[in-house]
Structure 1
Amino acid sequence: DIGDIVRGRDLYLGNTHESTQRIILENNLKEIFENIYDNLKDNEAKKHYKKNDKDPGFFKLREDWWEANRETVWKAITCEVKSGSDYFRPTCGSDENNATLAKNNCRCKDKKTGKDDTDQVPTYFDYVPQYLR
């Protein structure tokens, strides 16, 4: 899942031949978030996200960036889905037993308008560990 990759929590299970690509991806993400950190203007923010031995990969910054941008990322990767735009399981709604499928561009219906045009990320399990999904 892209959120796990951005946050540095992807398990990267599967093809062991891709390990070189995984290392390259993780290094690129660290570089990207280091650049974001270097361009922070607010000293309090810099102090909050300071790189140290406990957070060498800017994981706190990555986590907060994902929280702030996940809807935009989801919209960007689903905006032109022509086929296969049904999410693989019922994910719209807050109750797993009454959830519905996200059928139009992988988006949930807006409760007020009834249209499938919300930017809600249709996953109530975004922060559930991968091995439990």
Structure 2
Amino acid sequence: DIIRGKDLYRGNKQEKDKLQDQLKKYFKELHNNLESEAKNYYNDDTKKFFKLREDWWNANRLDIWKAIICTAPGTAQYFRNACGGEHTMTYGQCRCVNGEPPTNFDYIPQYLRW
């Protein structure tokens, strides 16, 4: 959610703004290093780069999910219809049977996740 610009962090506004400013810098740098066609596709007059952030997340979510859950207890489960197919509940370390992250976990509103 933080990467995608949809975080509900309700704490210190200055800290949230500081984090968003830092993310804008990272994605501006990423945008500057794109080839011209991709750079045009992700051009953003607001300089918030939400489309680039969303696509970056989609490309990297599996690796990030693995990093988040690498120390989760083996008994950790997520009980929503999350894995699709015939297996709908996550098993050890909140992973689907095939080891991938639950398909919709990162799109569920934060207040419903934890």
* TM over 0.5, shorter chain: yes
Paired residue for 2:94, among 99, 106, 111? 106
Paired residue for 1:74, among 57, 65, 69? 65
Are 1:92 and 1:123, in contact at CA under 8 Å, matched by a contact in 2? yes
The question of 1:50 aligning with 2:52 is answered no
- Alignment CA distance shift 1:121-1:83 (3 Å): closer
How many pairs does the alignment contain?
A: 111
Unaligned residue ranges in structure 2 (runs of 5+): none
Are 2:76 and 2:91, in contact at CA under 8 Å, matched by a contact in 1? yes
Report the 3-state secondary structure (helix = DSSP H, G, I; strand = E; otherwise coil) of the residue aligned with 1:36. helix
Distance 1:24 1:84 in 2: 36
Cα offsets for 1:12-49 (capped at 9, x unmatched)? 23x4xx21111111111111111111111x11001111
Paired residue for 1:126, among 83, 106, 109? 106
Report the 3-state secondary structure (helix = DSSP H, G, I; strand = E; otherwise coil) of the residue aligned with 2:93. coil
> What amino acid is aligned across from residue 66 of structure 2 in structure 1?
K
Distance 1:46 1:36 in 2: 9
Q: TM-score, normalised on structure 1?
A: 0.70
Unaligned residue ranges in structure 1 (runs of 5+): 111-117
| Aligned-pair identity (%) | 39
Q: TM-score, normalised on structure 2?
A: 0.80
Distance 2:74 2:14 in 1: 32
Runs in 1 of length 4+ with deviation above 4 angstroms?
A: none
Larger-Rg structure: 1
Report the 3-state secondary structure (helix = DSSP H, G, I; strand = E; otherwise coil) of the residue aligned with 1:7. coil
The question of 1:23 aligning with 2:17 is answered yes
